[in-house]
Amino acid sequence: MVDVILGLQWGDEGKGKIVDYFAKNYDLIARFQGGPNAGHTLYVNDKKIVLHQIPSGIFHEQKINLIGNGVVLDPVTLKKECEAVASFGVDYQKSLFISERTHLILPTHRALDKASELSKGNDKIGSTLKGIGPAYMDKTGRNGLRVGDLLDKNFTTQYIKLRMKHQRLLDNFNFQEEISQWEEEFFDAIDFLKNLNIVNGEYFINDKIKKGMRVLAEGAQGSMLDVDFGTFPFVTSSSTISAGVCSGLGVAPQKIKDVIGITKAYCTRVGSGPFPTELTDATGDFLRNAGNEFGSTTGRPRRCGWIDLVALNFACMINGVTQIVMTKADILDSLEELMVCKNYLINGKESNVVPFQMNRMKIEAAYESFKGWNTDISKISSFEEMPQAMKTYINYINQYLGVPVKYISNGPGREQIVSIK
State the number of CA atoms in the 13 A half-sphere of 6 facing the CB.
Answer: 34
Show Cβ contacts of residue 85 under 8 Å, excluding neighbours closer than 6 positions: 49, 51, 54, 58, 59, 92
Q: Are 295 and 12 in contact (CB under 8 A)?
A: yes
Judge whether 40 counts as a catalytic residue.
yes
Q: Find the angle CA(334)-CA(340)-CA(342) to the nearest 5 degrees.
A: 175
Grouping H, G, I as helix, E, B as strand and the rest as coil, residue 83 is helix
Torsional class of 400: left (φ above 0), alpha (ψ -120 to 50), beta (otherwise): alpha
Taken as a whole, the chain contains a residue count of: 421
219 vs 19: CA distance, rounded Å: 10
Of 217, 214, 176, the residue nearest 56 (C-alpha)? 217
Q: Report CA-CA distances (Å) from 121 to 115, 117, 126, 130, 299.
A: 11, 7, 11, 18, 22
Provide the 8-state DSSP code for 152. Answer: S
351 vs 366: CA distance, rounded Å: 9
Q: Which of 3, 12, 20, 74 is catalytic?
A: 12
8 vs 319: CA distance, rounded Å: 9
Q: Are 95 and 63 in contact (CB under 8 A)?
A: yes
18 vs 4: CA distance, rounded Å: 11
**Strand locations in 270-403, DSSP E?**
303-305, 307-308, 323-327, 337-346, 349-351, 363-371
Provide the 8-state DSSP code for 71. Answer: B
Q: Which of 3, 20, 40, 138 is catalytic?
A: 40
Judge whether 12 counts as a catalytic residue.
yes
Of 369, 301, 365, the residue nearest 335 (C-alpha)? 369
Q: Are 63 and 176 in contact (CB under 8 A)?
A: no
Q: Find the angle CA(10)-CA(16)-CA(20) to the nearest 5 degrees.
A: 150
247 vs 205: CA distance, rounded Å: 13
419 vs 323: CA distance, rounded Å: 12
AA letter at 193: L
The residues assigned a catalytic role are: 12, 40
